[in-house]
Amino acid sequence: MSSQNSTASSNTSFVRPQFFYVNGFSNIPHVKYYYIFLCCVYAVTVFGNCFIMFMIYVERNLHTPKYVAVFNLAVVDLCGSTALIPNLIHTFLFNSQFITYEACFSNMFFVHFFSSMQSLTLVVLAYDRFVAICCPLKYHAIITNITMAGIIAMVWVFITVTVMTAVLLFTRLSFCKGTVINSYFCDHGPVFRLACNDNSPNHIMAIFCTTLFFVAPVAVIGLSYVCIIIALLKITTQEGRLKAMKTCTSHLILVAIFYFPICATYIAGLSSNIHPNARIINTSLATVIPPMLNPIIYSLKTEEIMSAIKKLYKRNKLISHDTED
């Protein structure tokens, strides 16, 4: 494998492999059924997120700052799943586990980019709910469609620069320890640990990105909901509190299903030596399940979208009835 995968540059001490080998699961019987399951997850994800985007686009009542952020989340969920699942299925279901040096870092960039975008979009949605409940009279002055679009654009640019920097740091590494990646894609940590020269900048960048895109968002969202709870307690009527809190339920469920599995995996990894197969299952499910569930939750738990669906259904029913007549 080493002769097939490793080619040295003009500097013989610097090894830049032609291929990496994505190891994936080890010694799990009938593992191909898991990848078939991921095919089903991807199909539901594509349909659900396309449906949410279509509903927001066609229904004028949903052309609000909140649904600008929800539309962005649907785009990110769709792109993130597309960056990961088809490649994962091609790699393992069709036994194509070799990946070129360039393709590996391209895969790394897009998977981490869209995962980070999911996290920060949830922060943007938390900010929207914070302003709506804590400053209701100023909401329309503070948050407009243009303001929300501007915030989201800045998030896209910021994450692009940060993740690109993390990926470009790999160009200085010499991979002489091996080319076998103990993960299900070109994951940042397992790849930089293959280097035999100084990988401390990559390690620092990994800690920085984890803190910036996962630890800090959890803290910010938690703080925003502390402020929301304080504001809700100031509402005199029970009905008013429930009505205000109901607008947050979809977002809270999304936050739970996105961050809880990631946090559980990190905590398990810090407290004990988690088995590679368990880590791969946990992280892969934590990556692919939220994009599938997000549109379902927003469809079922959000009154505005349910009303838009009913309105569209009635409209189509009337059109079909007129056509038959």
- In tens, the pLDDT along 287-301 reads 899 999 998 888 777
Question: What's the CA gap between 175 and 8, in Å, rounded?
Answer: 10
CB under 8 Å to 134, separation ≥6 — which residues? Answer: 227, 228, 231
> Among candidates 163, 160, 155, which has minimal Cα distance to 120?
155
What confidence tens digit (pLDDT) does each residue in 135-157 have?
888 999 999 999 999 999 999 99
Question: What's the CA gap between 63 and 144, in Å, rounded?
Answer: 10
Q: How confident is the model at residue 11 (pLDDT cuts 50, 70, 90)?
A: very low
Question: What number is the average pLDDT over the span 168-174?
Answer: 91
Q: How confident is the model at residue 6 (pLDDT cuts 50, 70, 90)?
A: very low
> Among candidates 63, 59, 76, 224, which has minimal Cα distance to 146?
63
Question: What's the CA gap between 48 and 292, in Å, rounded?
Answer: 7
Q: How confident is the model at residue 15 (pLDDT cuts 50, 70, 90)?
A: confident
Q: Is the pLDDT of residue 1 over 70?
A: no
Residue 100: count of CB within 10 angstroms of its CB: 13
What confidence tens digit (pLDDT) does each residue in 193-250 have?
898 888 899 999 999 999 999 999 999 999 999 999 998 888 878 887 888 788 888 8
C-alpha 314 chain-centroid distance: 34
- The CATH fold assigned to 19-324 is Rhopdopsin 7-helix transmembrane proteins (1.20.1070)
- Domain residue limits, the chain: 19-324
What confidence tens digit (pLDDT) does each residue in 124-138 have?
999 999 999 998 889
Q: Is the pLDDT of residue 269 over 70?
A: no
Q: Is the pLDDT of residue 183 over 60?
A: yes
Cβ(121)–Cβ(155) below 8 Å: yes
Question: What number is the average pLDDT over the span 71-83?
Answer: 95
What confidence tens digit (pLDDT) does each residue in 38-49 have?
999 999 999 999
Tokens coding 311: 């309105």
Tokens coding 317: 């029913």
Task: Name the more confident of 307 and 116.
Answer: 116
What was the pLDDT predicted at 47?
A: 95
* CA within 13 Å, CB half, 301: 16
What confidence tens digit (pLDDT) does each residue in 246-267 have?
888 888 999 999 998 888 777 7
Beta-bridged to residue 8, according to DSSP, are 15
